[in-house]
């Protein structure tokens, strides 16, 4: 899903950089930096960045801009919140770009599609579940870890396809018929992996999941 240089036109690249800088400034201002000093969360944040660098490096694809890889956005957001998750994924993107997996010119647009969008979706799905679903640890795990992670990957992939199709890079029939089904499979894979990770953290290290409240999800359960 990482876009190389020269694939999209200057208008797309410029809009991507403008939006990325705006989101970056907001994230830097709102990031709860002090929370990283609590419960070993700085190690969780840095460790997640390293793990995701490896996951993002394991990709498959044929056409430029259509490589497939796991995202980890939902788990990262549950661990440290949206601002720090966005900054962490931006760091991951910088690492894989330095490794040649994406282009620096397209970095801003990649950051919007691969970091800001999935983190925003993750935060939105968490908020919806927190508001409308029962406050139960199993609901938290399945709604966010399994279902939420899968949906975030699928919607992110759909957004990339719409961008490539809207820019006229590839025909929509090719994108939807040949590539969209793979994002469903990728979402299924991420859902299972993320669900297991969230389950283990909630059971053994709940302090590593900043959006999980023991008093709210475990009281009287």
CATH of the domain at 103: 1.10.1760.20
Q: Which pLDDT tens digits describe the chain residue by residue (221 residues)? A: 778 888 888 899 999 999 999 999 999 999 999 888 887 789 999 999 999 999 998 877 667 778 888 999 999 999 999 999 999 999 999 999 998 878 899 999 999 999 999 999 999 999 999 999 988 899 999 999 999 999 999 999 999 999 999 888 889 998 998 888 989 999 999 999 999 999 999 999 998 999 998 778 776 54
pTM here? 0.93
Range of the domain at 48: 10-217
C-alpha torsion sign, points 100, 115, 157, 14: negative
| 180/177 Cα distance (integer angstroms) | 6
Residue corresponding to tokens 């966005």: 86
Contacts of 142 (CB under 8 A, 6+ apart): 195
Do the domain assignments include residue 186?
Answer: yes
Contacts of 9 (CB under 8 A, 6+ apart): 167
Check residue 61 and report its DSSP letter. Answer: -
Domain count, the chain: 1
Contacts of 185 (CB under 8 A, 6+ apart): none
Do the domain assignments include residue 1?
Answer: no
H runs (alpha helix) in 133-213? 137-140, 149-166, 172-174, 180-204
């Amino acid at each position: 899903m990482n876009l190389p240089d020269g694939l999209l036109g200057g208008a797309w690249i410029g809009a991507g950089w403008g939006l990325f800088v705006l989101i970056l400034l907001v994230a830097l201002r709102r990031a709860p930096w002090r929370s990283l000093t609590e419960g070993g969360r700085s190690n969780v944040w840095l460790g997640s960045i390293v793990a995701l660098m490896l996951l993002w490096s394991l990709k498959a694809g044929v056409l430029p801009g259509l490589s497939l890889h796991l995202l980890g956005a939902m788990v990262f957001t549950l661990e440290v919140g949206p601002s720090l998750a966005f900054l962490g994924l931006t760091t991951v993107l910088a690492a894989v770009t330095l490794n040649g997996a994406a282009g620096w010119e397209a970095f801003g647009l990649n950051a919007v599609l691969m970091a800001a969008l999935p983190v925003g979706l993750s935060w939105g799905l968490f908020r919806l579940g927190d508001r409308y679903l029962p406050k139960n640890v199993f609901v938290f795990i399945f709604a966010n870890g399994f279902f939420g992670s899968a949906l975030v990957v699928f919607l992110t992939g759909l957004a990339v396809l719409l961008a490539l199709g809207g820019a006229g890079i590839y025909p929509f029939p090719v994108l939807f018929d040949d590539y969209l089904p793979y994002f469903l499979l990728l979402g299924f894979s991420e859902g299972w992996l993320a669900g297991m990770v969230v389950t283990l953290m909630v059971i053994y290290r709940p302090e590593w999941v900043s959006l999980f409240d023991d008093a709210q999800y475990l009281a009287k359960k």
